[in-house]
Structure 1
Amino acid sequence: MTAPAPKTPGWLDWCPEPSEPVFVLPPGTVDTHCHVFGPQAAFPFAPERKYTPCDASKDQLLALHDHLGVSRAVIVQATCHGADNRAMTDAVLASGGRARGIATVRPDVTDAELRRLDAAGVRGVRFNFLKRLVDSAPREDLTAVAERITPLGWHIVLYFEAADLPELADFFAALPTPLVVDHMGRPDVTRPVTGPEFSGFLRFVERADVWVKVTCPERLTVTGPAARKGERHPYADVVPFARRAVEEFPDRVLWGTDWPHPNLTGHMPDDGLLVDHIPRIAVTPELRHKLLVANPTRLYWPDERPPESGSRATSPRLD
Structure 2
Amino acid sequence: MTVAATAGAPACQGPDPVIRAPAFPIPAGAVDTHAHVIGAHDAYPMMANRSYTPPPAPEAAYLAMLDGLHMSRGVLVQISVYGTDNRCMVETLRAHPDRLRGVAVVSPDVSDRELEELAAAGVRGIRINVLFGGGVAMDELERLAARVAPLGWHIQLLLDARALPELGPRIAALPVEVVVDHIGHMPVTEGINHPGFQMLLRLMRDGRAWTKLSGAYRISGTGAPFHDTLAFAQAVVEAAPDRCVWGSDWPHVAVSGPMFNTTDLLDLLPLWVPDEAQRTRILVDNPARLYGFPTPTAG
Q: Same fold (TM over 0.5)?
A: yes
Shift of 1:4: 4.4
> Structure 1 residue 200 and structure 2 residue 199: aligned?
yes
The alignment-based identity, stated in percent, is 41
CA distance in 1: counterparts of 2:191 and 2:45, whole angstroms: 43
Residues 108/186 of structure 1: CA separation in 2 closer, same or farther (3 Å cut)? same
What SS does the corresponding residue of 1:254 show, helix, strand or coil? Answer: strand
**Larger C-alpha radius of gyration, 1 or 2?**
1
> Structure 1 residue 220 and structure 2 residue 210: aligned?
no
What SS does the corresponding residue of 2:179 show, helix, strand or coil? Answer: strand
Q: Which has the higher contact order (CA 8 A, sep 6+)?
A: 1
Aligned to 1:19: 20
What SS does the corresponding residue of 2:40 show, helix, strand or coil? Answer: coil
2:182–2:212 CA contact under 8 A, matched in 1:
yes
Shift of 1:188: 2.6
CA distance in 2: counterparts of 1:220 and 1:294, whole angstroms: 26
Q: What is the TM-score normalised by the length of structure 1?
A: 0.87
Aligned to 2:166: 167
Aligned to 2:42: 41
1:297–1:306 CA contact under 8 A, matched in 2:
no
> Structure 1 residue 126 and structure 2 residue 127: aligned?
yes
Residues 147/102 of structure 1: CA separation in 2 closer, same or farther (3 Å cut)? same
Aligned to 1:80: 81
Could you list the per-position Cα deviations for residues 104-155 of structure 1 after superposition, in whole angstroms to 9, with x for gaps in the alignment?
000111111111001000000001122x43577152x332221111111111
1:162–1:188 CA contact under 8 A, matched in 2:
no
Shift of 1:307: 4.8
Could you list the per-position Cα deviations for residues 8-57 of structure 1 after superposition, in whole angstroms to 9, with x for gaps in the alignment?
54522111113332123111110001111122233222333232110001
> Structure 1 residue 150 and structure 2 residue 140: aligned?
no
Aligned to 2:101: 100
Residues 3/29 of structure 1: CA separation in 2 closer, same or farther (3 Å cut)? same
What SS does the corresponding residue of 1:251 show, helix, strand or coil? Answer: helix
Aligned to 1:241: 232
1:74–1:100 CA contact under 8 A, matched in 2:
yes
1:293–1:307 CA contact under 8 A, matched in 2:
no
CA distance in 2: counterparts of 1:135 and 1:83, whole angstroms: 8
CA distance in 1: counterparts of 2:279 and 2:136, whole angstroms: 37
What SS does the corresponding residue of 2:93 show, helix, strand or coil? Answer: helix
2:211–2:243 CA contact under 8 A, matched in 1:
yes
**Greater displacement, 121-130 / 2-11:** 2-11
Aligned to 2:178: 179
Q: What is the TM-score normalised by the length of structure 2?
A: 0.93
CA distance in 2: counterparts of 1:282 and 1:148, whole angstroms: 36
Could you list the per-position Cα deviations for residues 184-208 of structure 1 after superposition, in whole angstroms to 9, with x for gaps in the alignment?
2123312333454432320122234
**Greater displacement, 193-202 / 142-151:** 193-202
> Structure 1 residue 306 and structure 2 residue 291: aligned?
no
CA distance in 1: counterparts of 2:192 and 2:296, whole angstroms: 32
Q: How does 1:62-81 map to 2 (within 5 A)?
A: 62-81=63-82
2:49–2:134 CA contact under 8 A, matched in 1:
no
Aligned to 1:189: 188
